[in-house]
Structures are given as structure tokens and as C-alpha cells.
Chain A
Amino acid sequence: MTEPVTSITLDESLARAGPSAASFARLWAALWQQDQLPDGLLELCRLTFARLHRDEAELAAVNPQAGRRADLDTLRRLVIEDKAHDSAELSDGEKAVLLFAEYYWTDTQSIPADVGEAVKAHYGEPGLVLLIEALGLIDGRIRTARCLRDMNAFRANQEDLAHVD
């Protein structure tokens, strides 16, 4: 069975676009190599967005760039079950990042000043900027993957109809 298009596998589908897709893939790869935020935290943001999109394929996707921290599986489960904010397993800084991500997803225009300040207090301005970049890229890739899955389903349906005819 073919793996569904998700934010993780998206570059394979986009490669046909040429240099712009290659550049986008390089930016995506670079994102996971930055050290402004703790290891694994961007993966928790991705899973937060997957949960908010109610996207089962995205929730099930395995991200090889997620990070190597020992407690990542525990943290993944907490985020997927929407229990991260009540858990002692995450630091205050990590919770601040996830709260910023939830505001970003819900209404990008209305992120309270104190929510941004909390991220800056833990990770500085570069940490907040990297987070903002990452959230846009993660959400964009999830959105694109959803559109391409729908396009693929539409085409498959059209082919089925053609065979019936």
C-alpha cells in the first residue's frame, strides 16, 4: 500500500515542480537542524497541528528528523492526547512554545503579547523567529498534503468512473 502524502513525504510529490521544490525541501531540512529550540520540540509542534487539523495520516506519519531525545515517544503521546499542558514531563519553555503554536494555528493575527514574551524568555528572539518560521512551514506542508491527497482521490475516482464507462 502506498504511503499517504503527509508533511513528511511531501517533497516526493512536489519534486516535479523543479528548482523551487528543491529549494523548499532544503529549507525544510534546514529547519530541523537548527539549535535555537530544544531537540524534538518542532516535532511536538507538528503533532499539535496534526491534532488540530484532525489529520489521521499526519498523526501516524513517522518523522525521521523528529529528534533523538529519550522521552520523545512519551511527549508525542501527550501532545496527541492534548495533555501536554497539564503534564510535568514538559518544561515551562516547551509548554510556552506549544501554546504559541496553538494560538498561531487558531488565529495568526491574535497571538497575545504575553504568549510571545514567554517563548522569548526561554529561547530568545532567534528562538521565537525560528518557531514562527517552523510553524508556517509545518502548517503549510500539512495543508498542501491534504490538498494533494484530495486531488489524488479525485483522479482515482475519475479513473474508476472511466473504467465503468
Chain B
Amino acid sequence: MSTKPAHVTGSGAQTGNVIRDSMMGLVPGTVDEIIALNGHVWRESLVSPALLEILRLRNARTVNCVFCKSVRYDVAKADGLTEDRVQLIAEGYEDSELAPREKAAIALADAYLGFPAGMDADAAGRVADQFDDDEIASMMVALMTYNFTSRAAVSNGGMPEDALPIMEMSVSAAAG
């Protein structure tokens, strides 16, 4: 396993919160709200934890955050997202056994993550068929949260090149 050196190492804190102990702990003016945001996203979103985890893992895959790809959140597992279903969040997902609502969530994530970012009429129609405006807004907040934190890790470097073992994580470890 080779690793490109990180621009910035962790904050030096050992609080047990993965965000506060990361480099983000070096900016006290934002770290508390980032931790709070993670909590709000996981605990108070308007879609299910399993659907959030699908968004998070689709983002992790596209951004190629090795850490994020290895993590499985406990709340999503409790919500019924099995490892078999996680493996369907990949190329060819449209022909998979994922539910229409899950496929539409992936289409939304891909629109957000694309170059150029945006939705064509087909994707917009699929999303509109499955979600109301409140749910779409909620998923966009979740996507932005997962995307900016994973890209922070990736842009900083220090990321292993090889896949890591699957690791279950409690929401409380990143959300206080």
C-alpha cells in the first residue's frame, strides 16, 4: 500500500470524534458546525438512512475517497442496507435489483457529481417521479455534506491507494 504524503496532518486532538481529530480541528470557527451538520444530516434528514448511505457511497466512489468507501454507517445497516445491496451501487446499477427510489437517488448524485454538474430531463424526471421537493432539498444537503468532507480528505492527500477493510462506524463518532 503506497500513500501520497498529506499536505496537513491531523489536529493533534484525541477526542474520539473523527472530524475534530482530523485536520478540520485546526479551524475552530468551522469545526463545531461541521460536526453538528453531520449529526443533523444523519439524524434529521427527510429520507431514510439507507438512502443517505447510498448517496454517501456513490459520492465516495466517484470522488475515490478510500476511507469513505470502506466505512459503513450503523444507522444504514440497521435500516436494512446489506452489503449485497451496497455492491449494487456501481456501474450498471440501473439494471440492478435496487428499488426505483434508490436508483433515482443515484441519478441525483450523479447529476451533482458530473462534469458538467446538472440534470438532464431524463434524470430530472426520474427524480421528480420518486421524491418531493422537501426530500430533494434534504438529499442535496446530504450530498454536499458528504462531498465536501470526502473531497477534503482526498485533496489533502495521505490517502491509501489500495482498498481498506470494511469498517462499521457509529454516527456518534462523526456527529457528536
| Interface SS, A side | helix
- Say yes or no: A155 contacts B137, CB within 8 Å: no
- Say yes or no: A154 contacts B128, CB within 8 Å: yes
- How many residues of B are in contact with the other chain, CB < 8 A? 55
Give A30 to B33 CA distance when docked, in angstroms. Answer: 9
State whether A136 and B152 are in contact (beta carbons under 8 Å apart), knowing that A20-B40, A125-B23, A150-B124 are contacts in the complex: yes
Return the chain A residue nearest B123 by Cβ: A150
Other-chain residue from B26, B137, B145, B149 in contact with A16 (beta carbon distance below 8 A): B137
Q: List chain B residues, Cβ under 8 A from A154.
A: 119, 121, 124-125, 128
Other-chain residue from B27, B37, B113 in contact with A130 (beta carbon distance below 8 A): B27
The stretch of B41-49, B67-75, B78-86, B97-105 in contact with A is B41-49
A19 within 8 A of partner (CB): yes
Interface string of A123-165 (1 = CB under 8 A from B): 0011011101101110111111011111101110110000000
Give A18 to B164 CA distance when docked, in angstroms. Answer: 35
State whether A24 and B124 are in contact (beta carbons under 8 Å apart), knowing that A16-B137, A53-B116, A125-B23 are contacts in the complex: no
Q: List chain B residues, Cβ under 8 A from A142.
A: 117
Q: Which residues of chain B (1-44) have a CB below 8 Å from chain A?
A: 5, 7-8, 23-24, 26-27, 29-30, 33-34, 36-37, 40-41, 44
Other-chain residue from B7, B111, B128 in contact with A116 (beta carbon distance below 8 A): B7
Return the chain B residue nearest A15 by Cβ: B137
- Say yes or no: A104 contacts B155, CB within 8 Å: yes
Q: Which residues of chain A (103-128) have a CB below 8 Å from chain B?
A: 104, 108-109, 111, 113, 116-117, 120, 125-126, 128
B93 within 8 A of partner (CB): no
What is the distance, in angstroms, from A134's C-beta to the closest C-beta of chain B?
9
- Say yes or no: A151 contacts B136, CB within 8 Å: yes
A62 within 8 A of partner (CB): no
State whether A19 and B44 are in contact (beta carbons under 8 Å apart), knowing that A108-B63, A129-B27, A151-B124 are contacts in the complex: yes
B106 within 8 A of partner (CB): no
What 10 pairs across the A-B complex have the smallest Cβ distances? A136-B148, A116-B7, A154-B124, A140-B144, A17-B137, A143-B117, A150-B119, A17-B138, A20-B40, A27-B33
13 contacts between A and B (CB under 8 A): A14-B141, A15-B137, A18-B138, A24-B144, A53-B117, A109-B154, A133-B152, A136-B151, A141-B144, A147-B119, A151-B124, A151-B128, A153-B124
- List residues of chain A with CB under 8 Å of any chain B CB: 13-24, 26-27, 30-31, 33-34, 36, 53-54, 104, 108-109, 111, 113, 116-117, 120, 125-126, 128-130, 132-133, 135-137, 139-144, 146-151, 153-155, 157-158
